[in-house]
Chain A
């Protein structure tokens, strides 16, 4: 078992009969941006939730520096996460929502205004999140992930709802973050965007990994979209024939 930044070791998660993640094995390269791709329902969010201790694996492990998230000493200082299931208290302001988190994690309050500035939400810091647009909520999620100044970021569709300026900003931000030697695992459906952002890709379908490697070797001469469609469709056909033949 590796102690590199993030590792999935035969991770399997079952919801009743539904196999959400099936024997996933992967190592995330430190100091790089890894894109985590797959069709809807492929199991990306489930794998990330297992990694963050929000869901418990049926078998296998998802580890951070060789240990389970729940065993990390100061988790927010090590890992920052943006998740689709994350919510904010609508009646609290952006700043208050973050101060609830700094208190819980033992982070100093001065960090709150720093991260709000980073994600360019300073003007809305004192506003209740009830009135926030999708993109503003997404920025606030990112701000929350950055509170502990972590070495690792785990982002589930962070570009959701961001405007073009926001997306360009995010791309630059992730690049800078990785160039500082930090590690990012980011899921997304925006393949054209990902092609120009990530160093490595992992593509999964039906909970199983179908390809992993650096972006050049996966994409070849075409686009990431071409490679994605070809790989997932091929995988679809082979899994259909195998289940069809098995029953």
Chain B
């Protein structure tokens, strides 16, 4: 629990965390926000007819999960950043049982990554709603579209956790 608190402090004290969060929100909102425009043009000029109206709207919401890359970067920074900074020495002096340190880091990477995705996807879903408002002819999203988006966002975060874990083990082994 102590170690988790320590990782939490590393996260909230670092300015890079907030930069990444902003970038994550911006990317998710941008891709969700411009997709209605792109798709409407694609339909008009390129004859994309394979997609039903409701599939298009679902695609727009799906874009809200697209900032997972930033959750991955965050995970890697959390897991491996200490070796670059040289603060790993201080951490291992406080907690010489290294497996506990890795567990705390992995847990924090998972929680923080999930929080990143939920915040970015949530804001992007609102952006998507607003963007779709410019297209009165748009169909309603399928019942599960928003839930699917959030689930997809969280699953992508699990992948990010796995990747971060692998990278950390790689760095630790050196």
Contacts and interface: CB of A to CB of B under 8 A. Distances in A.
Interface stretch (A27-35, A69-77, A175-183, A234-242): A69-77
Q: How big is the A interface, by class?
A: 20 to 34
Interface stretch (B13-21, B130-138, B165-173): B13-21
Interface string B78-112: 00000001110111111111000000000000000
Contacts of B52: none
Interface residues of B, number: 23
B2 interface: yes
Nearest to B4: A103
A21 to B, nearest CB: 19
Given A54-B92, A91-B14, A70 B2 contact: no
B95 A104 contact: yes
Given A53-B96, A75-B96, A144-B90, A88 B85 contact: yes
A43 B89 CA distance: 18
Given A96-B9, A104-B6, A87 B91 contact: no
A56 B4 CA distance: 26
Given A96-B9, A104-B2, A106-B2, A87 B86 contact: yes
A233 interface: no
Contacts, number: 77
B13 A96 contact: yes
B76 to A, nearest CB: 16
A154 to B, nearest CB: 10
Contact of B10 (A53, A85, A87, A89): A89
B93 A75 contact: yes
Contacts of B10: 89, 100
A139 interface: no
Contact of A70 (B6, B15, B87, B97): B97
Interface in B39-94: 85-87, 89-94
Shortest 9 CB-CB contacts between residues of A and residues of B: A87-B86, A104-B6, A103-B6, A70-B96, A104-B94, A105-B94, A103-B5, A96-B13, A53-B96
Interface of A: 52-54, 69-70, 72, 75-76, 81, 83, 85-93, 96-97, 99-101, 103-106, 144
Interface of B: 2-3, 5-6, 8-10, 13-16, 85-87, 89-97
